[in-house]
Amino acid sequence: MAAAPDLDLRHIREAHERIRPFVHRTPVMTSASLDALTGAKLYFKCENLQKAGAFKARGAHNAVFALTDEEARRGVVTHSSGNHGAAVALAARSRGIAAFVVMPSTAAQVKRRAVERYGARVTLCEPTQESRESTAERITAETGAHFVHPYNDLRVIAGQGTSALELIEEVPDLDVILCPVGGGGHLSGVAVAAKGVSRHIRVIGAEPAQADDASRSFRAGRIVAAGNPKTIADGLRSSLGELTFALIRAHVDDITIASEAAIVAAMRLVWEIMKIVIEPSAAVPVAVLLDRALPVSGQRVGVILSGGNVDLDRLPF
Amino acid sequence: MAAAPDLDLRHIREAHERIRPFVHRTPVMTSASLDALTGAKLYFKCENLQKAGAFKARGAHNAVFALTDEEARRGVVTHSSGNHGAAVALAARSRGIAAFVVMPSTAAQVKRRAVERYGARVTLCEPTQESRESTAERITAETGAHFVHPYNDLRVIAGQGTSALELIEEVPDLDVILCPVGGGGHLSGVAVAAKGVSRHIRVIGAEPAQADDASRSFRAGRIVAAGNPKTIADGLRSSLGELTFALIRAHVDDITIASEAAIVAAMRLVWEIMKIVIEPSAAVPVAVLLDRALPVSGQRVGVILSGGNVDLDRLPF
């Protein structure tokens, strides 16, 4: 097994200094009702209230602002069906450079409008991983723009980990942190940050049962591809990358799964009880806790609510 | 014209001290996107994130905890179709006394369940003001419980005003505060608090055009009854009371109105952009701002988002 990539708490702290002027320090919320329903003491890190509506703003800003002036000069390019594209567009605007975002033709109109609102140029592609990548490569070749991967990039991962850094600063004695896992950029960054602060904080990934490739990869010791998973948690359909997988193996304690029904029920409950809008991906760790699929009774649990971008015309409940 | 009731900043501060252990100090949120859409700098006081999902927890706790032990001994009774009932039930539980809540038989199931979850005893009545009042009177006679009016009560009004006190503590140099108005308990408390701190803060009520009795009362110089208004803003259907009307005349600068369509659009926009759940009543001041119905360009505007209790099965958009 290869050594874990060179990423530690120092990089997360550097990322935090770098992005602080451009992103929100999101609030940590609590809920007596959800504590009662789960039997734990929950601390919700509200990345749904982050700029552009998701934690992705953290990694995108770190990646974009870590570029040298020479690297940044011709702009940045990425591919994304949603939150990462908007985050890169916003970060590029913050730096005053161009952004090119490749989106599948099937992406929700509301997500495309968000990317365009931040001033990025959108190029549509076929809804396959191959088409995304080849289109992004073509744009890179044509424009000389710098490619920013949605998750398999150490600067992106370091940026995402700042969400956990802030959570731990506010609630120092957490027993566990739960974080959704798709491509693994957020979970691996959170794990590096949390374990860097204290080996005693357990870090657990939460994944839809219908897209459990990260869980299977974690157990198999090699990356198992996601295929084309059918889950409502549209932010969690990607496969792990080489970098995120290595970091997850090195630093994450376990990955748990939740059913589609549990995800929808958890999403609705958070809206109803906490009065905040979270997207299905963000509901996955809450679903794990409501199902009591994890033994955390009486413990202090950090829950990362990863995003709040939903199409209000197509609610699942 | 009678002198305004004896209520000033001192009472609001006393109420704040009294209720502080039992209610949330709610966050003040900002939104660059909504600033751009309205042309003002907005500060949202998020009472949708208050306990029991609305500012009503403030007034109810102040009223319940201001009672002497003798007055409180046999519990409290109120009538309400929603938020005030849940707030009184919660406050009574906080004090460890009984609560009796009269609700119209047409009240939403979700609201009734909320009241019962806090341990109150619910009595259903006909959906008329007369039936509410006579049923509450009967229960008062039978039980000896103390009646807490939803708004026409100086202790309730003082409690509601603490929302503005906190907002002004956090954002001292506001030009205007906008607050929804139904029975007027919140608006009159907010006005007493704001004008007590500074005569220079303008205080403006916001009301549905379909239930514009407060606006008409304000202009006519006498209470005009609401009748049976058809508005989606279900928290704003009541008529003003003698006390709230007198305080509004003395301290409020103006009352503006918004159409039903504008209210629904504003509600949806806040969900989409701010990722928080607000109820239609809370969207009314936002609708006024989005319509540019008030000249606040470039000004610092406090907006009280009064509550977040909605039936997710019956969304208006």
The number of helices, as runs of H, and strands, as runs of E, in chain B is 13, 10
Look up residue A36 and give its two tokens: 């009662």
Residue in chain B nearest A274 by alpha carbon:
B49
Q: Does B277 contact A271 at a Cβ distance shorter than 8 Å?
A: yes
Contact A275 B277 (CB under 8 A): yes
- Tell me which chain A residues have a C-beta less than 8 angstroms from the C-beta of B29: 49
How far apart are the C-alpha atoms of B262 and A299, rounded to whole Å? 45
Sequence-distant (≥ 6) Cβ neighbours of residue A21 within 8 angstroms: none
Residue B179 CA to residue B205 CA, distance in Å, equals 5
For A229-260, write each residue's pLDDT tens digit.
999 999 999 999 999 999 999 999 999 999 99
Closest residue to B276, CB basis, from A275, A312, A315: A275
Report whether A294 contacts A52 (CB < 8 A).
no
Domains of chain A (ranges plus CATH)?
Answer: 9-54+153-305 (3.40.50.1100), 57-147 (3.40.50.1100)
- What number is the average pLDDT over the span A184-203? 98
Backbone torsions φ then ψ of B283, nearest 5 degrees: -80, -10
Q: Under an 8 A CB cutoff, do B268 and A27 touch?
A: no
Contacts of A169 (CB under 8 A, 6+ apart): none
d(CA A164, CA A179): 9
Q: CA of B313: which chain A residue's CA is closest?
A: A317
The pLDDT tens digits of the residues spanning A28-72 come to: 999 999 999 999 999 999 999 999 999 999 999 999 999 999 999
Please report residues of A whose CB lies closer than 8 A to that of B313: 317
Q: Check if the beta carbon of residue B148 is closer than 8 Å to that of residue B77.
A: yes
- Residue A261 contacts B, CB cutoff 8 Å: no
Distance from CA of B66 to the nearest CA of A (A): 25
Please tell me the distance in Å from A311's CA to the nearest CA on chain B: 8
ipTM for the whole complex:
0.92
pLDDT, tens digit (0-9, with 9 covering 90-100), for A12-21: 999 999 999 9
Question: Do A157 and A189 meet the contact criterion of CB atoms below 8 Å apart?
Answer: yes
pLDDT in tens, A269-299: 999 999 999 999 999 999 999 999 899 999 9
Six-digit token pair at A227? Answer: 């295929």
Measure in Å the smallest separation between the Cα of B269 and chain A Cα atoms: 10
Query: What pLDDT does residue A114 have?
Result: 87
- pLDDT for residue A183: 96
Chain A touched by B271 (CB under 8 Å): yes
Contacts (Cβ under 8 Å, ≥6 apart) of B36: none
Tell me the chain B residues in contact with residue A308 when contact means C-beta distances shorter than 8 Å. Answer: 275
Q: Inform me whether the pLDDT recorded for A2 exceeds 70.
A: no
Contact B312 A271 (CB under 8 A): yes
Shortest Cα distance, chain A CAs vs residue B276, angstroms: 4
Nearest alpha-carbon partner for B41 in B51, B32, B49: B32
Q: Strand, helix or coil at B317?
A: coil
Report the range of poorest mean pLDDT among A75-79, A105-109, A208-212, B237-241: A105-109
Confidence of residue A127 (pLDDT cuts 50, 70, 90): confident
Q: Which of B271, B308, B313 sits opposite A312 (nearest CB)?
A: B271
Nearest to B277 among A27, A277, A313 (CB): A277
Q: What is the pLDDT of residue A134?
A: 96
Separation CA A315–CA B316 (nearest Å): 13
Minimal C-alpha gap between B91 and chain A (Å): 15
A276 touches chain B (CB under 8 A): yes
Q: What is the pLDDT of residue B110?
A: 80
In this predicted structure, the answer to whether residue A6 has a pLDDT above a threshold of 70 is: yes
Per-residue pLDDT of chain B (317 residues; tens, 9 = 90+): 557 899 999 999 999 999 999 999 999 999 999 999 999 999 999 999 999 999 999 999 999 999 999 999 999 999 997 899 999 999 999 999 999 999 999 888 888 888 999 999 999 999 888 999 999 999 999 999 999 999 999 999 999 999 999 999 999 999 999 999 999 999 999 999 999 999 999 999 999 999 999 999 999 999 999 988 999 999 999 999 999 999 999 999 999 999 999 999 999 999 999 999 999 999 999 999 999 989 999 999 999 999 999 989 889 98
> What per-residue confidence (pLDDT) applies to A136?
96
Which residue of chain B is at minimal alpha-carbon distance from A311?
B272
Residue B228's pLDDT is 84
Residues 25-64 on A with a CB inside 8 Å of B are 27, 29, 48-49, 53
Q: Looking at residue B2, what is its pLDDT?
A: 59
Pairing, β A76-79 against β A146-147: parallel
Chain B: closest CA distance from residue A274 (Å): 7
Q: Which residue has the tokens 């731990």?
A: A168
Do the chains contact at B271 and A277, CB–CB below 8 Å? yes
Using an 8 Å Cβ cutoff, are A167 and A96 in contact? no
* Class of residue B108 by CB neighbours under 10 A (exposed 0-12, middle 13-18, buried 19+): middle
Is there a contact between B276 and A277 if contact means CB atoms under 8 Å apart?
yes
Instruction: Give the pLDDT of residue B4.
Output: 81
- Interface A–B counts its CB contacts (< 8 A) at 42
The fraction of chain A above a pLDDT of 70, given in percent, is 99
Position A203: which residue type? V
Cα of B48 to nearest chain A Cα, Å: 7
Check residue A4 and give its pLDDT.
81
Check residue A129 and give its pLDDT.
84
For residue A128, name the pLDDT band (cuts at 50, 70, 90): confident
Minimal-distance CA residue of chain A relative to B47: A275
pLDDT value, residue B128: 86
User: Strand, helix or coil at B183?
Assistant: coil
Q: What are phi and psi of B225, to 5 degrees?
A: -70, 150
Contact A308 B275 (CB under 8 A): yes
Q: Give residue A109's pLDDT.
A: 82
Kindly state the tokens that stand for B270.
Answer: 């806040």
Cβ atoms of A239 and A213 within 8 Å: the answer is yes
The per-residue pLDDT for B111 is 84
Alpha-carbon distances of A189 from A76, A216, A309, A317, rounded to whole Å: 22, 20, 21, 32
- Which chain A residues contact residue B315 at CB under 8 A? 312, 315
Assigned token pair, A266: 């958890």
Kindly report which listed range (A1-5, A208-212, B234-238) carries the lowest average pLDDT score. A1-5
Q: Where are the alpha helices (DSSP H) in chain A?
A: 9-19, 32-38, 56-66, 69-72, 83-95, 109-117, 129-143, 154-170, 185-197, 213-220, 242-251, 260-274, 280-290
Which of B35, B55, B275 is the best substitution to test chain A (most A C-beta atoms within 10 A)?
B275
Compute the mean pLDDT over every residue in chain A, rounded to the nearest whole number. 95
Q: Say whether B312 and A274 touch across the interface (CB within 8 A).
A: no
* Structure confidence at residue B259 (pLDDT): 97
**Order of strands across the sheet that contains B121-125:** B121-125, B99-104, B76-79, B146-147
CB of A271 within 8 Å of a chain B CB? The answer is yes
| Nearest by Cα to B168 from B157, B180, B176 | B176
Does any CB of chain A come closer than 8 Å to the CB of residue B124? no
CB atoms B272 and A48 under 8 Å: no
**Chain A residue at shortest CA distance from B48:** A275
The candidate with the shortest Cα–Cα distance to B218, out of B235, B205, B199, B237, is B205
